[in-house]
Amino acid sequence: MKSTKWLLINIFFTILFLLIIISLNFYIDTYATRLSLFGIKKEIGQMKFMAPINQHIFKTEYIFRDPNRFDSFIFGSSRTGVIDPAKINSGKFYNMSYSLGLPSQHLAIIKAFLQKGVKIKTVIIGLDEFSFNLSPKEHEKQLERIMHPSVTGRLLSDIFCTYYLRVPKLFELGNGIKLFFNDDRGGKFVLNEKGLHMFWVKKEKEIELMGKPLFTMDTIQVSPKSFDKKLEDEAFVQIQELILLAKKNDFRLIIFFNPLSTNFYMPYASSLYAVKQKLASLTDYYDFSGLDSVTLNNYNYYEGVHYRYLVGDMIIKRIFDCGNINIPGDFGVLVTKKNVNEHIQKQKQELEKYLVKKEMVQ
């Protein structure tokens, strides 16, 4: 009798504990999955969140809810999040960028869009060095990067358990307290109705006020890094499928390389040469990476990884020839089968000259 009573008490407190955990996570909604998948609010386009929300899920769900709202999309990592869709005049663009976005994820989401009846006119895809060296499997257990269940086929109940049947971290509890006391979320993460990431607005104002970079980053000597051959090959399989999908569904596909800051570009320069050569055999693309007047200037970056809104405007200007911003002549090249050898040779020479110059200064 005592053992039965003890068992019932344990069950009661276990259920109570789980209910408290679920309620806390559901209330705080750190990754915005309640808002995206489990809420009753129909309009979710513009929002403020204190935490690193899951844009993979949120942005995909936003398009699913109104398939006719947009006809063109910008895909890429968080670096492309500063490219303003409102400044492109050749379609109704939405910025689909999300943390560490990879070609395989872009492909899966575009396929899901087509299945949902989204009429696609243009797709822009920004590539990074990790696009060819990172496995999407690494994202499957990262709460910020899990993909939408309608894209992967994962059960909604599984998503619920993953996000809500867990002990919240300390920073999440802190956010929950602020939320409970109606503390303004402060715009630490702001997403506008076109998917533009407004997180950098405060830093943008600081840079404009100071008239100089917020950080200093002296280029250090680094050893060359190579891509994992298997992951590189898999990335190209996805890119080839994207190209075929665009042709089959009659939408324009524009691919470009993000303008990596010098310290992030140099270790992968040699590996990127080979990737760029191979990509040119499949399709034309724009190359904004390399050593030029934009990437060599820290003023064009918020920190070592993310470039500024004005650089996003330059990318738009180079690709679509719209906007009033001035573009340096050495920023952005349309690479084709005909000029790829010349382009890569030029980038090699620029790197050699840069290294010689750095050695002379030291």
How much is the pLDDT for 223? Answer: 81
pLDDT at 231 over 60: yes
- Structural contact between residues 75 and 97, judged by C-beta atoms closer than 8 angstroms: yes
User: How confident is the model over 243-255, as a mean pLDDT?
Assistant: 98
- Structural contact between residues 197 and 191, judged by C-beta atoms closer than 8 angstroms: yes
User: How confident is the model over 52-57, as a mean pLDDT?
Assistant: 91
CA distances from 48 to 44, 64, 188, 191, 252 (A): 11, 20, 7, 7, 32
User: How confident is the model over 126-155, as a mean pLDDT?
Assistant: 95
Q: What are phi and psi of 191, to 5 degrees?
A: -120, 125
43-150+178-361 carries CATH number 3.40.50? yes
Please tell me the least confidently modeled range out of 17-26, 181-190, 297-306, 346-355.
Answer: 181-190
Q: What is the pTM of this model?
A: 0.93
pLDDT at 76 over 70: yes
How much is the pLDDT for 220? Answer: 60
235 vs 10: CA distance, rounded Å: 50
- Structural contact between residues 83 and 74, judged by C-beta atoms closer than 8 angstroms: yes
Closest by Cα among 83, 58, 53 to 323: 83
pLDDT at 361 over 60: no
Provide CB contacts within 8 A for 131, sequence distance 6+: 102, 103, 235
In this prediction, residue 152 has a pLDDT band, given cuts at 50, 70 and 90, of very high
Provide CB contacts within 8 A for 158, sequence distance 6+: 149
CA distances from 73 to 194, 235, 255, 319 (A): 10, 20, 12, 14
CA distances from 201 to 123, 196, 207, 239, 309 (A): 26, 11, 10, 33, 9
In this prediction, residue 221 has a pLDDT band, given cuts at 50, 70 and 90, of low
- Structural contact between residues 194 and 73, judged by C-beta atoms closer than 8 angstroms: no
| Domain ranges for the chain | 43-150+178-361
The distance between the two most distant Cα atoms of the chain, rounded to a whole number of Å, is: 86
In this prediction, residue 251 has a pLDDT band, given cuts at 50, 70 and 90, of very high
CA distances from 267 to 77, 222, 350 (A): 19, 6, 15
pLDDT digits (tens, 9 = 90+) for 273-327: 999 999 999 999 999 999 999 999 999 999 989 999 999 999 999 999 998 899 9
How much is the pLDDT for 356? Answer: 80
pLDDT at 143 over 50: yes
In this prediction, residue 187 has a pLDDT band, given cuts at 50, 70 and 90, of very low
How much is the pLDDT for 45? Answer: 63
pLDDT at 106 over 50: yes
How much is the pLDDT for 121? Answer: 98
How much is the pLDDT for 360? Answer: 59
pLDDT at 1 over 60: no
Task: Find tokens 């997180």 and name the residue.
Answer: 199
In this prediction, residue 184 has a pLDDT band, given cuts at 50, 70 and 90, of low
